[in-house]
Amino acid sequence: NAGVTQTPKFQVLKTGQSMTLQCAQDMNHNSMYWYRQDPGMGLRLIYYSASEGTTDKGEVPNGYNVSRLNKREFSLRLESAAPSQTSVYFCAARTSGRGELFFGEGSRLTVL
């Protein structure tokens, strides 16, 4: 059982390039999340999707777009990457109600 799968695991971009981080879950959970992790700052929420077809901004949404393609998939797009977006990105899915988050293994992005 794969749980939450993120691709790619590593990516290097040049400033101004675009890319999409993919996330898929096989747990049939309604809610999905994108967080970024930076040293000393913990995890900060970028976007949240409560269900298919809905998305909501988190704490740090600027420079990102998301698509909840279907119940399984939630992608994060950087239209014009900036060095400040160098980070480790985590996708997560959540069980219903007061459930915990299940995380993917992360995608390390470096923007030069």
Partner 1 sequence: AQSVTQPDIHITVSEGASLELRCNYSYGATPYLFWYVQSPGQGLQLLLKYFSGDTLVQGIKGFEAEFKRSQSSFNLRKPSVHWSDAAEYFCAVPGGSGTYKYIFGTGTRLKVLA
Binding site for partner 1 (CB under 8 A): 4, 31, 33, 35, 40-45, 48, 50, 56, 58, 90, 92, 94, 98, 100-106
For residue 60 the two structure tokens come to 């740090």
Cβ closest to partner 1, residue 14 vs residue 42: 42
Rg (Cα) of the chain, in Å, rounded? 13
Cβ closest to partner 1, residue 19 vs residue 88: 88
Q: What CA–CA distance (Å, rounded) separates 30 from 33? A: 10
Cβ closest to partner 1, residue 67 vs residue 95: 95
Q: Which residue in the block uniquely carries the two structure tokens 């970028």?
A: 46
